[in-house]
């Protein structure tokens, strides 16, 4: 979901063998980290469904590459922590008490880029997003809500100077309410290139040297506002001021939530990924934000069709195998 550089962990939950009436077995040797979700914005659009799955104690989703239906236990004893990913955290506010009362530990990646509408047509304005971010921090604390300025997508109409100005303004607005900022530079998968071309947007892929110089500049701006800067799947820009990102970070989650069994160890999902093992419970082609750069959506018609097929009472986000070319 959140950028073309965001790594999507293949769901490693157990294949479904039980019936709906069978007691749910644990899905692994120990509590897992649940990712909700790199593939779609569950906090913005699907929280009634998510909370229903929490109460039911399990969730199903198709493997993103094979289509095999996989099951993940959401019972408290099987969940180390939940990592949310969103561009609109406001709907999450009304469910924080129930999640906490049930004993779940959770944190949130919150993406705010202030990109033009032609790139992010469905997201809230950056001022609305910052207000929601601040409300989440008041409830959870700055150590559990992390800012993503992700991806950096340079175009003919939106260059380095534009991004610098936006980053500077956002960092000032978020000063004192978060400790971490995650960045990545856009990767141009085939479907992303096609969407950009259809929209008439000319994307620019900077050199590794240019990325490193610019990442270092952003790190300086972030540091002045009390934040550390982390680069996701961008090892070439990592240096003393730019740290390697571990977007699903077992060590950090263990620190945030002591007293729980240790979280999973590192399990990179692609080159330069620093993530720990997790189980993502989202599905592709289900995010109505319709960001042009998103690797997890193929196109508007497909997303709209799947949105209409969503059942908040179902055990999967949308039925598997629905829509043209779907898994």
- Domain with residue 274: its CATH number is 3.80.30
DSSP conformational letter for 184:
E
Half-sphere exposure (CA, 13 Å, Cβ side) for 62? 16
**Residue 2 pLDDT exceeds 70:** no
Q: How far is 299 from 301, CA to CA, in rounded Å?
A: 6
List the one residue out of 128, 125, 134 whose CA is nearest residue 93.
134
Q: How far apart are CA 42 and CA 294, in angstroms?
A: 15
User: 321 lies in a domain?
Assistant: no
Please tell me the predicted confidence (pLDDT) of residue 261. Answer: 87
Residue 7 domain flag: no
pLDDT at 297: 86
Q: Please, are residues 188 and 203 in contact by the beta-carbon 8 Å criterion?
A: yes
pLDDT the model gives residue 29? 60
Cα dihedral across residues 94, 108, 121, 303: positive or negative:
negative
Does residue 296 or residue 176 have the better pLDDT? 176
Q: State pLDDT tens for residues 17-44.
A: 333 333 444 445 679 999 999 999 999 9
- Whether 326 is in a domain gets the answer no
pLDDT on residue 133:
98
**Of 260, 160, 155, 169, whose CA–CA distance to 201 is shortest?**
155
Domain annotation covers residue 8: no
**Residues 70-74, mean pLDDT to the nearest whole number:** 97
- When pLDDT is cut at 50, 70 and 90, the band that residue 4 belongs to is very low
Look-up: residue for tokens 């090892």? 235
302 in a structural domain: yes
Residue 89 lies in a domain: yes
- Domains contained in the chain, number: 1
According to the model, what pLDDT value does residue 77 have?
96
Is residue 3, in this structure, part of any structural domain at all? no
Distance (Å, whole) CA 281 – CA 62: 9
Range of the domain at 144: 27-309
**Looking at residue 293, what is its pLDDT?**
93
User: Could you tell me the pLDDT band of residue 259, with boundaries at 50, 70 and 90?
Assistant: confident
Which residues lie below 8 Å from residue 307, measured CB to CB, with a gap of 6+? Answer: 45, 286, 288, 318
| Per-residue pLDDT, 239 | 94
Q: What percent of the chain has pLDDT over 90?
A: 78
The string of pLDDT tens digits covering residues 187-231 is 888 889 999 999 999 999 999 999 999 999 999 999 999 999 999
Distance CA 184, CA 7 (A): 11
133 burial class (0-12, 13-18, 19+ CB within 10 angstroms)?
buried
CA distance 56 to 99: 13
Distance from C-alpha of 324 to C-alpha of 318, rounded to nearest angstrom: 14
Q: Tens digits of per-residue pLDDT, 100-148?
A: 999 999 999 999 999 999 999 999 999 999 999 999 999 999 999 999 9
Q: Are 284 and 297 in contact (CB under 8 A)?
A: yes
Q: What is the pLDDT of residue 320?
A: 85
The reply to whether omega before 151 is within 30° of 0 (cis) is: yes
pTM, whole model, 2 decimals?
0.91
Mean pLDDT of the chain: 89
User: Where residue 8 falls among pLDDT bands split at 50, 70, 90?
Assistant: very low
In a domain, residue 4? The reply is: no
- The pLDDT, as a whole number, for residue 267 is 81
**pLDDT tens, position by position, 279-289:** 999 999 999 99
């Amino acid at each position: 979901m959140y950028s073309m550089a965001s790594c999507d962990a293949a769901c490693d939950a157990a294949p479904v063998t039980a019936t709906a009436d069978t007691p749910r077995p644990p899905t692994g040797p120990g509590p897992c980290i649940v990712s909700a979700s790199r593939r779609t914005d569950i906090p913005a659009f699907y929280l009634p469904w998510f909370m229903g799955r929490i109460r039911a104690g399990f969730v199903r989703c198709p493997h993103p590459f094979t289509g095999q239906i996989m099951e993940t236990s959401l019972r408290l004893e099987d969940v180390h922590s939940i990592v949310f990913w969103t561009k609109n955290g406001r709907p999450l506010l009304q469910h924080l008490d129930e999640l906490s009362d049930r004993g779940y530990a959770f944190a949130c990646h919150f993406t705010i880029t202030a990109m033009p509408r032609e790139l992010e047509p469905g997201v809230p304005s950056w001022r609305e997003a910052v207000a929601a971010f601040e409300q989440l921090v008041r409830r959870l604390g700055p150590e559990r809500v992390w800012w993503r300025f992700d991806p950096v997508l340079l175009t003919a109409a939106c260059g380095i100077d534009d991004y610098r100005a936006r980053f500077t303004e956002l960092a000032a607005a978020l000063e004192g309410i978060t400790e971490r900022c995650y960045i990545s530079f856009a990767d141009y998968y085939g479907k992303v290139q096609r969407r950009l071309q259809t929209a008439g947007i000319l994307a620019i892929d900077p050199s590794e040297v240019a990325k490193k110089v610019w990442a270092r500049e952003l790190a300086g701006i972030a540091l002045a506002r009390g934040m550390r800067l982390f680069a996701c799947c961008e090892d070439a820009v990592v240096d003393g001021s730019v740290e390697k990102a571990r977007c699903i970070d077992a060590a950090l989650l263990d620190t945030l939530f002591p007293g729980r069994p240790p979280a999973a160890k590192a399990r990179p999902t692609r080159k330069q990924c620093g993530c720990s093992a997790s189980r993502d419970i989202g599905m592709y082609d289900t995010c109505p934000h319709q960001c042009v750069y998103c690797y997890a959506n193929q196109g508007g018609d497909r997303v709209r069709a799947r949105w209409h097929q969503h059942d908040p009472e179902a055990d999967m986000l949308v039925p598997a195998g629905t829509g043209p070319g779907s898994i």
